[in-house]
Copies of this chain bind each other. A is one copy, B any other.
């Protein structure tokens, strides 16, 4: 996957190379995912209105993928660059303004440029394509909000159907209501909130991932940490597990209806970097939106102290819109591991090429 584009540039886009040929695909398969990420659709998010309409430029012929690179673009339409003129020479705290200048000595200051959250729209396009093939294989990947600020979903009230219905993407109506109040309160204070997103991957075949550097958990973690505001990731019971003892953390194996199962899933579906057939569970920790409306201390690009007040349209919490991005990155990484795993066994390679018309 390659993505390109800036927040206020001509267009955002994505090229997905190496995707298998022969899967039905149209813009209609992608748009619903983009809509989940789209600004302006929730009371809890920015008022910038972007249609976020995807156009497939290549790799699909008569509604079917051809094996050629699938290029998809989204034109930027709602960009209002004037809001950013004031930020041309000032480094916003928590943003990449300063580091971009340090690295490149030039910076598209409009809407965060390349480091804008809008860049993730391109990833969602790729994710939607991968999700479709995973679904056709019976693999189920879904992300949801676990917490926003101090409000945490109650597992006893978990209702998957709510993920796509609540504005917070929480699978829990009570938590959703509480979180919305907290967001409104933060917005009133010109402040912002962070949160936690979980992604579950169910019915994943055992055997995906490599034993050392390309461990499946390492790849998934990198994929998710590459999302702008993500600052920590755990697999299974990764954080709390560091404080447990081995007898409690180890997941005992057990035979169940002729299949090998685990009694618990502290490992989060990955052992030694390779999927074990159990649900893969990942949690990503998102920092509060750095764009807050209250005045902040900062420096300008001459290195002088100044203060700034960020205008423009910003989310008091980014988490609900990031849910589909986490899902997309996990779907992409999982499919990649699936394709690579096909050549793990010499016997499978031989069988594959022994088939006529393979």
**Chain B contacts of A231 at CB under 8 A?**
217, 234-239, 241-242, 267-268
Q: How far is the CA of A13 from the CA of B55 in the complex (A)?
A: 13
At the interface, yes or no: A45 with Cβ under 8 Å from chain B?
Answer: no
Residue of B with least CB distance to A122: B212
Residue of B with least CB distance to A99: B274
Interface range on chain A (Cβ under 8 Å from partner): 35 or more
Count this chain's copies in the assembly: 4
**Once the chains bind, are B288 and A249 in contact (CB under 8 Å)?**
yes
Identify A212's interface contact among B114, B192, B350, CB under 8 A.
Answer: B114
Return the CB mask of A246-261 against B: 1 if under 8 Å, else 0.
1101111111001110
Whole-angstrom distance between the Cβ of A354 and the nearest chain B Cβ: 8
Identify A94's interface contact among B1, B65, B267, B294, CB under 8 A.
Answer: B267
At the interface, yes or no: A154 with Cβ under 8 Å from chain B?
Answer: no
**Chain B contacts of A59 at CB under 8 A?**
4, 6
**Chain B contacts of A249 at CB under 8 A?**
94, 194, 287-288, 290
Residue of B with least CB distance to A336: B343
Identify A71's interface contact among B4, B150, B289, CB under 8 A.
Answer: B4
Q: How far is the CA of A231 from the CA of B220 in the complex (A)?
A: 12
Q: How far is the CA of A4 from the CA of B60 in the complex (A)?
A: 11
In the complex, which residues 136-193 of chain A have their Cβ closer than 8 Å to any Cβ of chain B? 136-137, 147, 149-150, 186, 189, 191-193
Identify A106's interface contact among B21, B255, B274, CB under 8 A.
Answer: B21
**Once the chains bind, are A114 and B68 in contact (CB under 8 Å)?**
yes
At the interface, yes or no: A321 with Cβ under 8 Å from chain B?
Answer: no
**Once the chains bind, are A246 and B290 in contact (CB under 8 Å)?**
yes
If the complex has contacts A22-B106, A245-B149, are A253 and B5 also in contact, measured as CB distance less than 8 A? no
Q: Which of A35-43, A46-54, A299-307 touches B?
A: A299-307
Residue of B with least CB distance to A352: B342
**Chain B contacts of A71 at CB under 8 A?**
4-5, 11, 13
If the complex has contacts A100-B211, A252-B93, are A353 and B137 also in contact, measured as CB distance less than 8 A? yes
Whole-angstrom distance between the Cβ of A73 and the nearest chain B Cβ: 7
**Chain B contacts of A213 at CB under 8 A?**
1, 3, 226
Q: How far is the CA of A115 from the CA of B187 in the complex (A)?
A: 49
Q: How far is the CA of A324 from the CA of B136 in the complex (A)?
A: 44
Residue of B with least CB distance to A103: B207
**Once the chains bind, are B239 and A232 in contact (CB under 8 Å)?**
yes
**Once the chains bind, are B297 and A254 in contact (CB under 8 Å)?**
yes
**Chain B contacts of A119 at CB under 8 A?**
212
- Could you name 23 residue pairs across A and B whose Cβ atoms are closer than 8 Å? A4-B68, A5-B57, A10-B58, A20-B344, A65-B346, A66-B113, A68-B114, A91-B253, A100-B211, A102-B277, A104-B344, A133-B349, A136-B346, A137-B350, A194-B245, A194-B249, A212-B226, A214-B226, A232-B232, A246-B288, A253-B298, A255-B303, A338-B353
